[in-house]
Chain A
Amino acid sequence: MSSDTKHAAHAHPDGWTYVKVGVILTLITVIEVWAYYVPALVAHPFFNPGLIILSAIKFATVVLFYMHLKYDHRLFRVLFTGPLIIAGCTITALLFLFHHFKTVS
């Protein structure tokens, strides 16, 4: 590994980047809560998927920037995303198993 690559692997963001990430997280939260209070949006079929997407963006932002997974060794990414995928599949499978999703018969 070249010294440049080594340096890139260690190059964590500076303090202002962390603050900007905090502002983005706050703005997304404000949008989520604002949408909760708009009846027309709540009634929209894309309301729940939209909230889940916004939540996933916040989740990924914290993991990539604050937990430094974007900059760290790939083994750590595997250790985290592996169980996360299993967890997601478990939730989905259980919801199907308990008929939470309406299916066309």
Chain B
Amino acid sequence: MTLDKLLSFDWGMMAPEFSIVITAILLSLIDLFMPNKVSRKPLALLGLAGIIVAIVFAVLQVGDPVGSILFDTYRFDSFALAFKLLFLVATAMIFLLALDFEGESKWAYRGEFYYLLMTALLGAMMMASSADLITLFVGLELLSISSYILAGIRKRNFHSNEAAFKYVVNGGIATAITLFGMSYIYGLTGQTNLYAISEMLVDPRVQENSFLVIMAFVMMFVGLSFKISAAPFHMWAPDVYQGSPTPVTTFLSVVSKMAGFTLILRLFFVIFLGTQGWHNQILLDAQPFIAFVAGATMVIGNVVALRQRNIKRMFAYSSIAHAGYVLVPFVSLSLIVFKTTWFYLLAYLLMNIGAFAVIQFVTSREKSEDFTAFSGLNKRAPLTAFMMAIFIISLAGLPFTAGFIGKFGIFMSSLGTGHYILASVMIATTVVSYVYYFNVMVQIYFRKGAGNRIRPTAGLAVVMVICTIGTLLFGIYPSLALDFFQSGFDINDLFTPSE
């Protein structure tokens, strides 16, 4: 590749990614030359500023036509942008959580923490934009490797070490499975570009081997189910979530998971729908398989959550269950899937980050991660207790919250396409989930707790308030978000190969 060619790409489209890269580099350089004893707080603020700049660039791109760079390996379409916005907003809030997490003295390597969060975010954004198996894999690994280190960043903490170890081992296996699946695809089609693969799939020579294609499909799906912590690759999540520092747990359960969904949507929809439309035989064959995975994930997540006493573990299972819900629209196979998934992820982002903010607040003040740490929270911090109640109601999917609207949309999408069994599993497991969600609620409102009034720090308070407002606003007036998605993002351009 000549320099001229390299310069001829429209790099301006990458402005949000560049903001993140530049901020990450700046952060690592500053951290390198900063004296050890100096507070790393300004680094977090710098990181936050970088993300906000990226959000501004991303918002300015809304409505732009489809573009691509680097020989169609990296695409800028509405699909990528819509999900990137979610990643950026979520990571910005996680920075605020990180600011508050534990005292400076207790926790060295804080500088690393900030720029690793940046690179993980960059990985997620690459996953949203990739149109080629190779860039896609690079993005996935950038996110994964950054996350491994983040999980173990409290080097001297036993749980943190355990979390990082389990995460690496399981992540490695997942990567191997995914790559193995991809290798089949490459072997069959000789292409790495998703659109080219899609065209090759109708080739008779490939069609004869459709069994291999569907095996590749299953393997890639199982490998990627690691990222979204869906069955059968969910077992790492409780241990890792419990051991990681709470802001990292939040990142894993929100951003990393959203990135996984984005990747799954793009990979499978472009490859299998691109040239063949909705009646693709392979996708139709795979439908019961995905339905089974979704159902199993909902059941495992919600049922096992019942017995958890550690609040972070409980929320790990809850997050497994939510992955199951989000897989439901994927079964229904229609264009609605993007809208319902996006909205659900938005709602999930708000309620889950909000809940983790409260969890971080309570567990750090009480020095306990047992769910009884929440007892009597209503007396000690009434406003925080109220906000936690809203997040719980939303996670449980009760009306007037974003979680309800999201779940309702998913439910309707499965009913509308005749997946009655899946819809009933969803309802049944939702009812089960009330038990553990409302256990926390009972602790907050009906159990007596000891201790004085406690007050969240400014950063936490901002996150909680934003999440509460968002949860209620999109619950009462969901059109605000849905219309934004509908008018700003033409999802059809996911399928238009760029020139």
On whether the two chains bind one another, the answer is no
Residues of B at the A interface (CB closer than 8 Å) are: none
Residues of A at the B interface (CB closer than 8 Å) are: none
